[in-house]
Chains A and B, each alone.
Chain A
Amino acid sequence: MTPRLLFLQGMKLGVPVVITAGPFGALFGALAVDGGMSVFDAVLMSATIFAGASQLVGLNLFGQHIPAWIVVLSIFAVNFRHILYSASMGQHLSQWSILKQAFGFFFLVDPAYAETERRVEQGEEIQFSWYMGLVFVVYVGWVAMTFLGAIFGNFLENSHAWGIDFILPIYFMAMLMGFRKRPFWYPVVAVSAVASVIASYTVGSPWHVSIGAAAGILVAAIFAPAARGNGAGDVSEPLKLEGDV
């Protein structure tokens, strides 16, 4: 397939992401301006950080006379999960040049990671053009929706009634279900779910993400068939997903 076609193929996968994450971009823009941030700063934040949850957390702290380094540290804490994405995805990008890797990783948001892992499962190569098509749409959509939210402000006033706050959990669940054919999926999900819920009530956000993820990963590292065997239950073997997307 030509790079052009791959780019278009990636773009197509980005559209549902923009539809589901877009309202949050707009919500962020609206809340940012509402909290006294300029439209420029709101758009700059989306364009340079490009990570919704951490932007909303940062926004919450801006108004509270909290030292700058704590705000930055909080953003780091919320985004810590990307280290795991990066380690996991990097294995499939060995044919990319260092420059392409350095550029590509800037755009490594949750859906980009999930779509990439799905593609790996389908036995496909992760081409730079395909990946850039995907993240191009997501990035432009995110920044544009932030801008629109910042300009038009309160059009999301009734976001709770419309279920906007629940779109992302459902979307992440949909992504999660896409991996259910993976060996050891159920134990990992069960352990991570219990650990993250307990951590969210005890330690609190955003650490529940890292704690819950660490618990599931540890269980896989200790008990998964692939962790014990020399080749038995080879996990690098591509799995066939049920025909959705």
Chain B
Amino acid sequence: MSATFWIIIGGAIVTYLTRIGGHVILTRFKEIHPRARAGLDAVPAAVLTTLVAPAVAQGGPNEWAAFAIAVIAGLRVSVIWMVVIGTVAIAVLRHVSG
């Protein structure tokens, strides 16, 4: 098998370890401290934010405008429509601004 194959397998193993690891570590504790629980409850907000904020910050006016439109739309519409509106907005803005 090629080197690429083994790198892929290695990548798959470490990825699986990250996906099971948090649970395995946490089950070793009988009780979860309130602070730890508050931290865990913050996980979706904290992690999802890091997938959004830098991508938006590194964009330009087109990206910022499209993002703002998507967020305002997102207050009213469902996830999929927010994505559609945001994507159409960025495509139109990029076409218009060249």
Contacts and interface: CB of A to CB of B under 8 A. Distances in A.
A117 B45 CA distance: 11
Nearest to A206: B50
Interface residues of A, number: 102
Given A170-B87, A196-B54, A72 B42 contact: no
Most chain A beta-carbon neighbours within 10 Å: one of B2, B35, B36, B71:
B35
Q: How large is the interface on B (under 10, 10 to 19, 20 to 34, 35 or more residues)?
A: 35 or more
B52 A176 contact: yes
Contact of A175 (B37, B48, B70): B48
Most chain A beta-carbon neighbours within 10 Å: one of B11, B21, B80:
B11
Contact of A117 (B44, B59, B70): B44
Interface stretch (A1-9, A86-94, A126-134, A142-150): A86-94
Given A168-B51, A235-B37, A188 B45 contact: yes
Contact of B42 (A108, A173, A217): A217
A193 B48 CA distance: 9
B55 A169 contact: yes
Contacts of B46: 84, 188-189, 192, 212-217, 220
A166 B53 CA distance: 12
Given A170-B67, A170-B87, A209-B50, A105 B19 contact: yes
A245 interface: yes
Interface of B: 2-12, 14-27, 32, 34-59, 63, 66-67, 70-71, 74-75, 77-80, 82-83, 86-91, 94-95
